[in-house]
Amino acid sequence: MKQLANHKNKGIFFYFGLFHFFYRQIRNYLLKKIYSPFFGGHGKNFSFDPDGEYYYSNIFVGDNVSLGSRPTLIASLSKIQIGNNVIFGPEVTIIGGNHNTSYVGKFIVDVTDSDKKPENDLGVIIEDDVWVGARAIILNGVKIGRGSIVAAGAVVTHNSPPYSIIAGVPARIIKFRWDVNTILHHEQELYPPEKRLSRNDLEKYQDDLRNSSFDPDE
């Protein structure tokens, strides 16, 4: 009798799990259809988790983009711009603005958007062919160059050049994905001539890193 009861319980849990799976699939499909028009713009093959947090009208996304599960993309007075062929790991956070913490005579909680300076809302740009790892944080004013990888858990406060791998808190460039010749071959395979990066620029980025003179704000 006990074995029969255990078998019945397993059956109940199996069907409950199956129901929950299909319920979530249908729910997420419908919510994506409802929410996707609220984005500032998006291309084809765009995937996002409807349970994430988005400032929809200020987010612009290209083709073949997946924002991963439960991301947070906040930009009240700026834009978050994401290129083509970009993937996020789970729980990525992008903050396209900041508080004006220099305001004298008001508590921080009382400082409003109208009290902000221009540099408080510079937005975030993520170029094409970028992978952002799980729980990475990208902050106001940052531009992530084409082909870059942002490691899981990184806190990115400065720009990164194309094809860089950045990691750490605060994040820094640890290396480039490939040497210049391999990057040029990769570019030739994927981009028309007028959109390819030049050898001179790529060599400059890599030389600057080797010489520890890369300026992330250039």
DSSP 131: E
DSSP 154: -
Q: In angstroms, rounded to a whole number, what is the distance separating the alpha carbons of residues 162 and 196?
A: 11
> Any long-range contacts for 163-172 (C-beta under 8 Å, 24+ apart)?
163/202, 163/205, 164/205, 164/209
Residue indicated by tokens 């820094």: 172
- How far from each other are the two terminal CA atoms of the chain, in whole angstroms? 74
Residue 70 makes CB contacts below 8 A (sequence gap 6+) with: 49, 51, 52, 90, 91
Q: In angstroms, rounded to a whole number, what is the distance separating the alpha carbons of residues 39 and 161?
A: 27
For residue 99, indicate whether it is catalytic.
Answer: yes
- Of 7, 20, 42, 99, catalytic: 99
Catalytic positions are 99
